[in-house]
Amino acid sequence: MSNRNRMAAQGVLNARATALSNPGLGLMRQNPGLYGNQNRPQNMGPPPLMNGPPPGVLLLEQKVTTQHSELQRLLTENQRLAATHVALRQELAAAQQEVQRMQSMMQGLQNDKEVQVRSLLEKSANLEAELRATEPLKTDVLQARSDCQKLHQHSQELGVQVRTLTAELQRARADVQVIPNLRNEIDTLRSELQRARNAFEYEKKANAEQLDQRQAMEKNLVSMARDVEKLRAELTNAEKRQRLNPGAGAAYNGIFPSSDLSYNSLQQQVFGDNYGLHSQIPLAVENGVQFPSGQTPAWGAYDMQRHVSNNHVELEI
C-alpha cells in the first residue's frame, strides 16, 4: 500500500512538471477557444492575420506567469514536503523499530516482573508461615515489653536514689572533713573525763575516810546520848529528892556544881572539837541540860541517830 501511494504521488509530480515545462499546451488543453478557434468555421480556411496580440493575451500571459510562479512555489513546497515525508517515513520506521524493541524489552520486563512477583509471593507465603510459627512469641514479646517498661521505671527510681545517695555522700564528705576537729574534741573530752575520774576517785577516797569518821562520830554521839539520858534521869531523881528533902540540895550541888552544864561543853570535854559540831548544831536547855534545838530529852537520842544517818546518806550521794 505504501508503494501504491508513492507511485500515485510520483505521477502527480510528473504531470505538474510537464505542465510547467509547456505552459501553452496546458493552457490550450484547459481553454481550447483561447485563440479564437471556438467560433471559426471548419471550412473557412486559415485564420486572418492580426496586427498585434489579441486583447486578452497579455492578461492571460500575466495570469499564466503568476500561476507558473505559484506552481514553482508549490513544486518547491511539494518537494520539501516529499523530503519531509521521506524523513518522517524514515523516522516512523525507526520509531516502529524502537517500538518493537521497546515491546521486546517490555516483554522481558514483564517476564522479569512476573518472576519477581512470583518470588515475592513465595517470600510472602514463607513470611506468613514464619509469622504463624512466631505467633506464640507475641506473648513473650509483650511480656518482655512490659518488663522493659518496668525496668525503665525501676532505673528511673534508681536514678533518683543515686542522686539522693550522691547528695548524702557529699554531706558525709563534708562531715568527714570535720572529723579531725571532732577527734581533737574527743581527745580533749577524754582527758577531761580522765581528770574527772581521778578527781572522783580522790573524792571517793576522801568521802570514804569522812564516812569512817562520821560512823565513829555516830557511835560516839549514840553513847553520849545514852550518857545524857542517864544524867537526865539522875538529875530528875535528884530534883525529886531535893523537893522531898530540901536539906540534901547542898550536898547534891556539891556533887554537880551547876545545873547549867551544857551538852556542848560536855561533848568538847569528851570528844574534843574535831568535827566542829558545836558550831553547826544549835542547843536548847531543858532543866539545866543543853540538847540539840528542836529535840526533847525523851527522843533526843533517836533524832541524833537519824541526823547522823541522813548525813551519811547525803555523803554517799
Residue 99 lies in a domain: no
Distance CA(85)–CA(99), nearest Å, equals: 20
What is the chain's alpha carbon radius of gyration, rounded to the nearest angstrom? Answer: 83
Give how far Cα 234 sits from Cα of 41, 49, 66, 284, Å. 230, 230, 202, 19
Distance CA(67)–CA(54), nearest Å, equals: 20
Residue 299 lies in a domain: yes
Residue 207 lies in a domain: yes
Query: In this structure, what C-alpha cell is assigned to residue 84?
Result: 519531509
Question: Is the confidence at residue 28, as pLDDT, over 60?
Answer: no
Count of the separate structural domains present in the chain: 1
Residue 263 lies in a domain: yes
Alpha helix ranges (H) inside the chain = 2-21, 23-30, 57-133, 137-244, 249-255, 263-271, 300-316
Cβ contact 223:313 at 8 Å: no
Residue 279 lies in a domain: yes
What would the pLDDT profile of 208-247 be if each residue is shown by its tens digit? 888 888 888 988 899 899 999 999 999 998 888 888 876 5
Give how far Cα 199 sits from Cα of 136, 185, 210, 267, 301, Å. 85, 21, 16, 34, 36
Query: In this structure, what C-alpha cell is assigned to residue 243?
Result: 523537893
Residue 270 lies in a domain: yes
Mean pLDDT of 177-205: 87
Please give the pLDDT value at position 14. 57
> pTM (2 decimals)?
0.24
Residue 36 lies in a domain: no
Distance CA(26)–CA(254), nearest Å, equals: 218
227 lies in which domain range? 203-316
Cβ contact 20:75 at 8 Å: yes
Cβ contact 268:217 at 8 Å: no
If you ran DSSP here, which 8-state letter would residue 283 be given?
A: E
What would the pLDDT profile of 65-99 be if each residue is shown by its tens digit? 999 999 999 999 999 999 999 999 999 999 999 99
Query: In this structure, what C-alpha cell is assigned to residue 267?
Result: 561533848
Distance CA(130)–CA(127), nearest Å, equals: 5
Better pLDDT: 246 or 120: 120
If you ran DSSP here, which 8-state letter would residue 250 be given?
A: H
pLDDT interval class at 175 (50, 70, 90): confident
